């Protein structure tokens, strides 16, 4: 569940916040929190800490994708309103 926070947050931040540096900073904080939870709780779910690290690396790529999709959504809405 913690992994959803940076994914949904990244899309929404990129969509509604115009400052790119603010979006990236907030996304890094959300990712760090989610990665810490994933790594710390991996043994509770029958996996090793290494598996938590691997999942965190995959989550990093998905977070980048979430920000890109949010930015595309914002740009698409901007062009729809100007036409």
What does the pLDDT look like over 55-79, one tens digit per residue? Answer: 999 999 999 999 999 999 988 876 7
**Structural domain for 35, as ranges:** 4-82
CA separation for the pair 20, 45 (Å, rounded) = 36
> Do the beta carbons of residue 78 and residue 16 sit within 8 Å?
no
Q: In this model, does residue 19 exceed pLDDT 60? A: yes
**Distance between CA 28 and CA 41 in Å, rounded?**
20
Task: Answer whether 7's CB lies under 8 Å from 66's CB.
Answer: yes
Domain count along the chain: 1
> What pLDDT shows up at residue 83?
55
Q: Name the token pair of 30.
A: 């959300």
CA-to-CA distance for 75 and 10, rounded, in angstroms? 15
């Amino acid at each position: 569940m913690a992994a959803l926070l940076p994914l949904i947050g990244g899309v929404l931040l990129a969509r509604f916040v115009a400052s790119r540096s603010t979006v990236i900073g907030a996304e890094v904080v959300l990712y760090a929190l989610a990665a810490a939870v994933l790594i710390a709780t991996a043994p509770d779910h029958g996996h090793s800490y290494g598996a938590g690290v691997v999942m965190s690396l995959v989550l990093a790529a998905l977070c980048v994708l979430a920000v890109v999709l949010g930015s595309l959504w914002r740009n698409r809405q901007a062009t729809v309103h100007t036409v």
